[in-house]
Structure 1
Amino acid sequence: MKSMFNLLIVLSVALSVTSGFAQIKNPKTETVKIFGNCDMCKTAIENAGNLKNIASVNWNNDSKMAEITFDSKKTNRDEILKRIALAGYDSEEFLAPDTAYAQLAGCCKYERLKKEPVIAMDNTKMQMDMSESKMDSPVEQEGKTMPSSEKHANMTMPSSEKHTDMKMPSTENHKDMKMSSTEKHTDMKMPTAEKHTDMKMPSTEEHTDMPMSGMKETNPLDALFNNYFAVKDALVKTNPTTAAAKSSELLTALKALKIESLKAEVQTAVTKAMPSLMEAAKNISATKDIGKQRETFKVLSKNMHELIPFYNANETLYYQYCPMQDANWLSKDKTVKNPYYGSQMLSCGSTVETIDAKN
Structure 2
Amino acid sequence: MTRAETGQNRTAAARSGDDAEVRLGVIGLGRMGAMHADNAARIPGLRVVAVSDPHGPSLEAAVARLGAAGHAEWRELVERSDLDAVLICSPSSAHCDQIIAAAGTGKHIFCEKPIDLDLGRIEEALAAVERAGVTLQLGFNRRSDRNFGALRRRIAEGAIGAPWLLRITARDPAPQPAAYVRTSGGLFADMTVHDFDLARFVMGVEVAEVSAIGAALVDPALAEIPDIDCAITTLRFADGALGVIENCRQSPVGYDQRAEVHGPLGTLFAENERADTLVQADASGIHHSRIAGFLAERYDRAYLAELRAFADCLLKGEPPVATGEDGRQSAILAAAAQRSLVERRPVATSEIAG
TM superposition score normalised by structure 2: 0.20
Structure with greater helix percent: 1
Normalized per residue, which structure has more strand?
2
Structure showing greater relative contact order (alpha-carbon pairs closer than 8 Å, 6 or more residues apart): 2
